[in-house]
Homo-oligomer: A and B are copies of this chain.
Amino acid sequence: MDSTDTSFEQRLRDNAGKTEALLTRLLADTSLNDEIVRPERLLNAMRHGVLNGGKRLRPFLVMESAALLGGNAEAALRVGAALECVHCYSLVHDDLPAMDDDDLRRGQPTVHIAFDYATAILAGDSLLTYAFDIIAAPETELPADRKMALVLALSRAAGIGGMAGGQALDLAAEKETPDERGITTLQAMKTGALIRFACEAGAIISGASAEDRKRLRTFGEKIGLAFQLADDLLDLTADATTMGKATGKDAARGKGTLVALHGREWAETTLARLVSEAADLLSGYGDKADVLTETARFVANRKN
């Protein structure tokens, strides 16, 4: 680990700390909306699903994309927290018995194990709903048209044309292994869409030009692809202790991955290409883009 790595990882950790602190506040009794009773058990299940010490990669991408284009850092932190609520809702629902049936996530019991099935469904529902609340709330100090663009882009990234649709394709893939194009599509939807949104969100927050927004969106696509490829590589090799969750399950279920189709060497070459393409996209921004290009490298090389 050279000194660049250390300072990058420090920056990632610092931002994760800020995101965790904000999420803790957002999920505190007193921050939730006015007037009516909060069902404590449901709120605790939401906290269990969110406050789990994750790397908070998506919020980091929102923050750094906004920083690149001069966006409001406080607003970016809130949008990142909203995005993390969406990401965590998807994990809570994906872990359910009817879906991937996982008991363990980051070394902790999943929400339906720690609480119960119905509460886990409702906790996911409530986290998804809360994400839009966080963006729309007056505390997110952005012009209404930017907030609107964020709501639209996030709902499309998370919905049937994005993450939820990708999960449906993934479930179908257990019965019939998709071809290469099918695998690429499902991964772009299931994992890629939210990561792409994270980068695009930074541009929206900043009121960037359509060109900058498109560039960040494409950058996000590259990161998304790299993230998934690295994940497939890890799934092949890591053990449950490193990952804090069940591993090798995709292979056991006969799910196709690009790594399974083309092999490890191809995957490593492709990862290097993606990192280089991602860096090229941002080269016009000079040094200011160093953190984001470093993030691409980090995502491609991650070990857990």
A interface with B by C-beta (< 8 Å)? 32-39, 41-43, 46, 89, 93, 96, 98-99, 116-119, 121-122, 124-126, 128-130, 132-133, 135-137, 143-145, 147-149, 151-152, 154-156, 158-162, 164-165, 167-169, 171-172, 185, 188-189
Cα distance, A43 to B164, chains bound together (Å): 11
Cα distance, A53 to B167, chains bound together (Å): 29
Chain B residue numbers with a CB within 8 Å of A156 are 33, 133
Report, nearest first, the 5 A-B pairs whose CB atoms are least far apart. A98-B117, A144-B144, A136-B152, A133-B155, A129-B159
Give the secondary structure class of A's interface.
helix
CB within 8 Å for A160 and B98 given contacts A128-B125, A155-B130: no
Most chain B CB within a 10 A radius of its CB, from A35, A41, A96, A98: A98
Cα distance, A109 to B159, chains bound together (Å): 24
Considering only CB atoms, which chain B residue lies closest to A132 in the complex? B155
CB within 8 Å for A125 and B36 given contacts A98-B117, A152-B137, A155-B132: no
Indicate if the CB atoms of A160 and B42 lie closer than 8 Å.
yes
Chain B residue numbers with a CB within 8 Å of A125 are 89, 93, 124-125, 128, 164
Indicate if the CB atoms of A133 and B159 lie closer than 8 Å.
yes
Indicate if the CB atoms of B121 and A37 lie closer than 8 Å.
no
Indicate if the CB atoms of B148 and A36 lie closer than 8 Å.
no
Cα distance, A160 to B98, chains bound together (Å): 23
Cα distance, A34 to B156, chains bound together (Å): 9
Indicate if the CB atoms of B161 and A35 lie closer than 8 Å.
yes
Q: Show 29 A/B contacts (Cβ-Cβ < 8 Å), sorted by A.
A: A36-B161, A36-B162, A36-B185, A36-B189, A37-B185, A38-B161, A39-B160, A39-B168, A39-B169, A41-B168, A42-B168, A96-B118, A99-B118, A118-B171, A121-B121, A122-B167, A128-B128, A129-B155, A129-B159, A129-B160, A130-B159, A133-B152, A136-B148, A136-B151, A136-B152, A136-B155, A143-B144, A144-B145, A144-B148
How far in angstroms is the closest Cβ of chain B from A10?
34
Most chain B CB within a 10 A radius of its CB, from A38, A137, A155, A158: A155
How far in angstroms is the closest Cβ of chain B from A208?
17
Indicate if the CB atoms of A126 and B172 lie closer than 8 Å.
no
- The number of times this chain is found in the oligomer is 2
Cα distance, A147 to B147, chains bound together (Å): 10
Indicate if the CB atoms of A158 and B129 lie closer than 8 Å.
yes
Cα distance, A117 to B159, chains bound together (Å): 18
How far in angstroms is the closest Cβ of chain B from A213?
15
Cα distance, A165 to B41, chains bound together (Å): 10
Chain B residue numbers with a CB within 8 Å of A116 are 98
Chain B residue numbers with a CB within 8 Å of A143 are 144
Indicate if the CB atoms of A126 and B164 lie closer than 8 Å.
yes
How far in angstroms is the closest Cβ of chain B from A154?
8
Considering only CB atoms, which chain B residue lies closest to A117 in the complex? B98
